[in-house]
Amino acid sequence: MATGNLLSSVRGRPEERQDKREGRMMEIQMYNVGLGECFLLGQGDERIAVNCGTRNKKINGRDSAGIFREIGGDIRRNGCTVFLTQFDPEHVGGFLQIVREESAGIQAVCLPDLFSERWMSELLALLLLQDLSRSCFLPGKAVTLSGLMEVLLTLSCPIRLLKRGDQVGDIQVLWPQKTRLRKDLEETLGEIGIPGAVYEQDRWMWKELVQVAARMREIFMRLVALSGMEEIPRNGEHIPVELEEEVRGFRADFRKLRRNERFLGMAERFQESVELLRTFHDRTGLIFHVGEDGKENFLYTGNGWKEWAVWLEKNEDGLVPLHRKYWCISVPGHGTDECYWDFAPYAPRHFLVSNGYVAGQEAGKISGRYAGMFAVPGVIMHCTSSNWCEGNKDGICSCWDAQITSPELCSVIREEETKSQKRKEDETA
């Protein structure tokens, strides 16, 4: 079987590319992080780590911290560009844990571009409102976006903001698309009722939140410009001296806002709109694929695929066409029925499904439509949990073929193999 070109930026005639790819085998490591996500995509010496998050404190009886140490060790040994596809607590929390353990192995960090335009201050304010609505009575609790910013300020590697059409090595970004994202933002603000909020104090508090988000956006943009530069003067917190004043001002303003009783009242009232905020949040995440069409194409669908699949399939802006076939697809939304999509037309050989038990979230099971009579013929399901699936009846799996990672550390999927190779837990861990 011919080898693909997952990360290489080699270009030229097809016969030249084939020669240069000789011996470079595509490999995907799918870590068992339960209901979460972590893939390591690689070819040759190049690696991309996609997210590092989980909702589970224990995964099949094993402390999740041990699994993150293993992931961090792989990042340190191989060196990785890290893709943080969206700013939810699981992904950001896992990333922060990896950074604390193995920041030296992180060669670059790539984020969805939610920062480069002025209007994105309102977008960031919505994401902050979602974070704060989760814990509006816990002012001391870490907030996802601000926690991420604080850690990125201490890193010395390049930071990139990605939008539709951008390319990192041979990974091509399909989403976010700025025009559609702005339209989504305006519609969500209208649905939530922020522009015409009943309480005048809510309108004022929203303006203050947008101002705080604008300060954060400016810090991110300056940080992106500085990132990767050699010998940047840093203070005792390892923050660039050039950004000290801005960071100090942001911290003070954000702390003051989170302690404001009127703001906490607004956050409590907007609890009714948490589902709208979650839906909007999912639409801001990265979707990408291997940019160069070949026999072993990989598609990452994130959580927003179902919302934009038809738009992406039609290539509405003419910028990035999808491939006709995909060798491997990470199914959207952890495989839940809410995010189900029929990928049969793409003739996939492998599905990646990161899922696991979370108390009180029975709707979070893997959809039975990926199994049984709806299953794509011949597809191999790589799942982190066989029990947390609607297609599993009395211990019998109804998939055509399934490779269950649990309780091993990870599944390794290689292009010339029809079944995954599994790496066992280190008995001494």
pLDDT band at residue 384 using 50, 70 and 90 as cut-offs: confident
Report the range out of 27-31, 94-98, 408-412 with the highest average pLDDT: 27-31
Considering the domain boundaries, does residue 230 fall inside one?
A: yes
Considering the domain boundaries, does residue 304 fall inside one?
A: yes
Residue 6: pLDDT over 60:
no
pLDDT band at residue 68 using 50, 70 and 90 as cut-offs: confident
pTM of the complete model beyond 0.85? yes
User: In terms of pLDDT, which residue wins out, 407 or 17?
Assistant: 407
pLDDT band at residue 122 using 50, 70 and 90 as cut-offs: very high
Considering the domain boundaries, does residue 229 fall inside one?
A: yes
Residue 341 has a pLDDT of 94
Question: For 12-17, what is the mean pLDDT?
Answer: 31
Secondary structure, 3-state, the chain? CCCCCCCCCCCCCHHHHHHHCCCCCEEEEEECCCCEEEEEEEECCEEEEEEEEECCCEECCEEHHHHHHHHHHHHHHHCEEEECCCCCHHHHHHHHHHHHHHHHHEEEEEEECCCCCCCHHHHHHHHHHHHHHHCCCCCCCCCHHHHHHHHHCCCCCCEEEECCCCEECCEEEEECCHHHHHHHHHHHHHHHCCCCCCCHHHHHHHHHHHHHHHHHHHHHHHHHHHCCCCCCCECCCCCEHHHHHHHHHHHHHHHHHHCCHHHHHHHHHHHHHHHHHHHHHHHCCCEEEECCCCCCCEEECCCCHHHHHHHHHHCCCCCCCCCCCCCEEECHHHHEHHHCCCCHHHCCCEEEECCCCCCCCHHHCECHHHCHHHCCCCCEEEECCCCCECCEECCEECCCEEEECCCCCEEEEECCCCCCEEECCCCCC
Residue 269 has a pLDDT of 82
Considering the domain boundaries, does residue 9 fall inside one?
A: no
Considering the domain boundaries, does residue 429 fall inside one?
A: no
Percent of the chain with pLDDT over 70: 87
Considering the domain boundaries, does residue 32 fall inside one?
A: yes
User: In terms of pLDDT, which residue wins out, 164 or 133?
Assistant: 164
Considering the domain boundaries, does residue 2 fall inside one?
A: no
For 277, the domain range is 14-419
Residue 44 has a pLDDT of 66
pLDDT tens track for 223-276: 999 997 888 999 999 999 999 999 999 999 999 999 999 998 888 888 888 889
Q: How many domains does the chain have?
A: 1
